[in-house]
Amino acid sequence: MSDDIVDQPGLNVNLTLANWRRRILASHPPLDDPVALAWADTQAHYAIPVRYAEQLIDGVAADLHQTRYTTFADLATYAYGVASTVGLMSMHIIGFSGPEAIPYAIKLGVALQVTNILRDVAEDWQAGRVYLPQEELT
């Protein structure tokens, strides 16, 4: 959901992301907000650190301002925010929440995001975004 927010024309993305942040941090989400209720229940049931959801929103927000990356390390930082955070949250749900699982979740997230980037090179180029590191293109 949050990944698609930045691609919707005419949407006040900063406001939408701020609303998502408020919703995930709410100790008692509104009863008429099924997504926030589901998140609160899942987060509490599986003891998912809320910082991962916050980092996901930060990663999506970065997509609004950063359209090119100089190094793979720069790209990996972005990929952590938009993909590794999902893996870190998921590992709690599937039962691998020990500290030894963290590096694998992070690396898997980066690998999946790079795969997504490679798949979407033409589409991203048309949108004015080049996720491939500049140092790799020279």
| Per-residue model confidence (pLDDT) at position 16 | 87
CATH number of the structural domain spanning residue 103: 1.10.600.10
Alpha helices in the chain (DSSP H): 2-5, 13-25, 34-46, 50-65, 72-79, 85-94, 102-119, 121-126, 134-137
- 109 neighbors 101 (Cβ within 8 angstroms): no
Counted domains in the chain: 1
Q: pLDDT tens digits, the chain, 138 residues: what are they?
A: 445 555 556 578 888 888 889 988 888 888 999 999 999 999 999 999 999 999 999 999 988 888 899 999 999 999 999 999 999 999 999 998 789 999 999 999 999 999 999 999 999 999 899 999 999 998
Q: Which residue has the tokens 């509490």?
A: 44
Cα 138 to Cα 136: distance, rounded to the nearest angstrom: 6
Q: What is the pTM of this model?
A: 0.86
Residue range(s) defining the domain that contains residue 126: 2-137
